[in-house]
Amino acid sequence: MSKTTTVSFAKPSPVKQGVLVILAERGPVLSTSGKALDKASGGAVMRAAKQREFKGKKKTSLDILVPEKLGLSRLLVIGVDQLKDYAGKDWLELGGVIRGKLSGRDGPAVTLVLERPKKPRESVGEEAAQVALGTMLRGYSFDKYKTKAAKNKNDSVKNATLLRRLTIQCANPAAARRAFAARKALGEGVILARDLVNEPANVLGPKEFAAQARKLSGLGLKVQIHDEKALKKLGMDALLAVGEGSAKPAMMAVMTWQGAGTGGGKPVAIVGKGVTFDTGGISIKPAAGMGDMKGDMAGAACVVGLMHTLGARKAKVNAVGLIGLVENMPSGTAVRPGDVIGSMSGQSIEVLNTDAEGRLVLADVLWYAQEKFKPKCIVDLATLTGAILVALGKEYAGLFSNNDELSENLSRAGEATGEKVWRLPLGAKYDDMIKSDVADMKNIGGRYGGSITAAQFLQRFIQNDTPWAHLDIAGTGMAAPKRDVNTSWGPGFGVRLLDRFIADYFEK
């Protein structure tokens, strides 16, 4: 929903004003409330369904001209197929479908009756909370720079057409409120990630991004910002090399959440690539589509959104989020193709393509995460390679890992949330492709297997068989296709995936 919409939960009761949304299974088969409404309308609901050949199929809808005696401004019937087959993400998508049909123009208040046909008043709190989260995510829009929209927000007439309140009627509203408290925190985290990805690079550079991370201290996280001087002292030469061509200094933000306390053991570490704009550097990108590179920090955006979620829902886990923040620009001070640079690990890198910069940023941040925190496992996210788009399109993120259990757990979390990942191979032959004649390694491996050789590069910075997974989100983290729960260019990919992963496998 928009930021002005309030969600509440209530027990089922007759609705006599505003917009009413009911569900219909395949047939169509109306719920108890739907049948009562059809009877009160003199059969108007089923007549309309027959006339328009509405069968209750999933994601279809039926708008009905409401008899005046019912007092409603609009009646909307949503097809759901068979609710007995619904899992968590189906309820989430249902919320998105419903929210997509609502603008507020038919009334600022909407009531959704969420009950299972043939089983009156049996909708449970978890299902209602998932629907509410779906409406929250679908209602998001990024219009802060639209001056006409800003004027409309101050226009009382326009303001009246916004969706203000959504009431979900269900059998157990108390359980729904409890469940939605955590879902709302998750929705806030996704929206924060979306906001960051959608921001233009002239507004959101490394300094401003770090300031957004610092705000998480208000939720109880410990946030430490490392400036260029601190990064030099740490020996983060690979990260610093990426930012050498920019007037904006590089930074690293470290966000620590101790939700399991001192007895909770070592943390889960999540690392994000935060290239706030990527020109490609001296190996400059083509002009066409370069504007999309404001989203080259989608991995870091996910980490900030995730850490917000963990803090806001008081997750019982120890976790640390780390993001390397740089801008990759060409200039007289920029790193050149053919340069040899160092890294925090002590390994040397021959830079053959300055547009393969994200792996340089991650190399140092991954090393720091392991040296400083000795994590249980480490997951990194990065809009790393165009090659992953060739391999997987925009349906899956690429998954690379040195640990089967970690990989399988991430895959399960992806299936449960709809933020899916697909595992690709690593191996010695691929590692040979990044061997350098003049340094310990080179930062590209040639034309073939580009996503794999990028992951092989990262693996060289993983210590002592630390369980590690790399998610290449170049296809899923920005320029997202429109979905039931997202119509934004920046989807906030990874926040729901990793929140579920942590909740299922690490929380007490």
Statement: residue 198 has pLDDT above 80: yes
pLDDT digits (tens, 9 = 90+) for 3-34: 568 999 999 899 988 899 999 999 999 988 89
Q: State the pLDDT at residue 163.
A: 84
Instruction: Check if the beta carbon of residue 188 is closer than 8 Å to that of residue 194.
Output: no
Statement: residue 158 has pLDDT above 50: no
Say if residue 28 is preceded by a cis peptide, omega within 30 of 0.
Answer: yes
Topology of the domain comprising 6-173: Leucine Aminopeptidase, subunit E; domain 1 (3.40.220)
Instruction: Check if the beta carbon of residue 472 is closer than 8 Å to that of residue 486.
Output: no
Q: State the pLDDT at residue 22.
A: 95
Where does the pLDDT of residue 1 fall: very low under 50, low under 70, confident under 90, or very high at 90 and above? very low
Q: State the pLDDT at residue 155.
A: 52
The ranges of the chain annotated as CATH 3.40.630.10 are 185-505
Mean pLDDT of the chain: 94
CA distances, 502 to each of 298, 376, 412, 413 (Å): 19, 12, 12, 9
Beta-strand runs (E) in 2-153: 6-10, 19-25, 29-30, 61-64, 74-81, 109-113
Instruction: Check if the beta carbon of residue 370 is closer than 8 Å to that of residue 266.
Output: no
Statement: residue 107 has pLDDT above 90: no
Statement: residue 157 has pLDDT above 90: no
Where does the pLDDT of residue 471 fall: very low under 50, low under 70, confident under 90, or very high at 90 and above? very high
Instruction: Tell if the pTM clears 0.75, that is, is over it.
Output: yes
Tokens matching residue 179: 């469940």
pLDDT digits (tens, 9 = 90+) for 77-99: 999 999 999 999 999 999 999 99
Among residues 304, 97, 288, 103, the alpha carbon closest in space to that of 199 is found at 304
Instruction: Check if the beta carbon of residue 358 is closer than 8 Å to that of residue 382.
Output: yes
The ranges of the chain annotated as CATH 3.40.220.10 are 6-173
Where does the pLDDT of residue 415 fall: very low under 50, low under 70, confident under 90, or very high at 90 and above? very high
Tokens matching residue 225: 């910002």
What's the CATH number of domain 185-505, 3.40.630.10, 3.20.20.140, 3.40.50.720, 3.60.110.10? Answer: 3.40.630.10
Active-site positions read 285, 359
Q: What is the amino acid identity at position 314? A: K
Q: What is the amino acid identity at position 154? A: N
- The least confident of 118-122, 213-217, 282-286, 359-363 is 118-122
pLDDT digits (tens, 9 = 90+) for 375-384: 999 999 999 9
Q: What does the alpha-carbon distance between residue 96 and residue 140 come to, in Å, rounded to a whole number?
A: 11
Residues in the chain, overall count: 508
Distance between start and end Cα atoms, the chain: 31
Which stretches within 290-403 are classed as H helix? 298-312, 358-373, 387-392
Q: State the pLDDT at residue 489.
A: 97
